Amino acid sequence: MRFLPKSFFELLSIFSVFIAILMFFPQITFSAESNKTIIDSLVSEFATRIIQVLNKKNIDKINISTKSNFEYFNDNFINNLIDGNIQIDSESPIKLKLVMKDISVEYFELKSEDFQRRISLDFVVFLEEKDGSINILNKEEFTYSDTITSNDLELIENSNYPFTKGKFPTKNKSIFDEIIEPVIIVSAAIISVVLFFTVRSN
Give the pLDDT score at 28. 42
Looking at 3.40.190, 3.30.160, 1.10.530, 3.40.50, the CATH number of the domain 30-169 comes to 3.30.160
**What's phi and psi for 25, nearest 5 deg?**
-100, 145
Task: Report the relative pairing of strands 61-67 and 87-88 from DSSP bridges.
Answer: parallel
Q: Which amino acid is at 12?
A: L
Q: What is the 8-class DSSP label of residue 92?
A: -
**Residue-level pLDDT, tens digit, the chain, 202 residues:** 454 455 555 555 555 555 555 444 444 445 789 999 999 999 999 999 999 999 999 999 999 876 655 677 888 888 999 999 999 998 999 999 888 888 899 999 887 778 899 999 998 999 998 888 999 999 989 999 999 988 888 889 998 888 899 887 665 445 555 566 666 666 666 666 556 556 556 5
Give the pLDDT score at 186. 62
- Helix, strand, or coil (residue 45): helix
- Global pTM reads 0.66
Residue ranges covered by each domain of the chain: 30-169
Give the pLDDT score at 177. 53
Decide: 26 and 59 in contact? Cβ < 8 Å.
no
Give the pLDDT score at 53. 93
**28 beta partners:** none
Positive or negative, the CA dihedral 119, 75, 140, 41 is negative
